[in-house]
Amino acid sequence: MSTSRIAYAVIGGTGLYQLPGLENIERVSVDTPYGKPSGEVVCGDFHGRRFAFLARHGENHSVAPHRVNYRANVHALHQLGAGAVIGVNAVGGIRDDMGPRVLVIPDQIIDYTHGRLSSFCDVEGAEVQHVDFTEPYTSALREALREGASRAGVTVVDGGCYGATQGPRLETRAEIARMRRDGCDLVGMTGMPEAVLARELELPYACLALVANWAAGCGDAVEISLEEIFAHLDAATAHVPKILATLP
């Protein structure tokens, strides 16, 4: 593999299984102390910098949210020397200004998941870390994404609370109503433990959330259509390379 420093690693969610525009590609199989990641890490040149890309669910979308080996994914990017990690996540919109096709850079998260291996401390003999998670996303990386979107002419919503649920099923109307009362603006299935694992490794991390649908009971939809979800995701995903191309 090239010894060039990887400036950014991108973890692609539903609908983003490769990074368009990546050149001089090398596919790297990484073994980690926590097992295999979701697939090979694809490294290449992207607008003058070295990028790495990993499909969170596998390139064929074969790994469900609750079965993702988040520890292996994050540690693999750390092993490759990534300078920062950007998680691209498909989400449902709860807040009125976060409807389908909107891009959001959240600043907070609430974790509703259960049973996931959520720390590198979860191995015998490991030193227990009590990391500060007051601000779950790295402010400088969030700012870079905001400025990048502005330069690319892409509208994004700055800030918002991501509620991470277990999946793979979608949520009930009552669950979304509860999450709204809790202060959640978005709902997704993969935001945690990815964010906290990056924090344990002192890896700068931010989320670029793509709204694929209104969450249950929000907006005008009576029922959530998977066909509409993927149409909205396709439209939102098209903006991601534009933003990444302008990062410093």
Measured CA to CA, the distance from residue 140 to residue 237 in angstroms comes to 23
* Residues flagged as binding site for phosphate: 14, 56-57, 190
* Residues flagged as binding site: 14, 56-57, 189-190, 213-215
User: What is the CB neighbour count within 10 angstroms for residue 46?
Assistant: 23
**50, 2 contact by CB (below 8 A):** yes
**237, 15 contact by CB (below 8 A):** yes
* Residues flagged as binding site for substrate: 189, 213-215
- Both tokens assigned to 144: 């870079």
3-state secondary structure 68-123: CCHHHHHHHHHHCCCCCEEEEEEEEECCCCCCCCCEEECCEEEECCCCCCCCCCCC
Measured CA to CA, the distance from residue 125 to residue 133 in angstroms comes to 23
- Residue 75 backbone dihedrals phi, psi, to 5 degrees: -70, -35
Measured CA to CA, the distance from residue 185 to residue 179 in angstroms comes to 8
Helix (H), strand (E) at residue 191: none
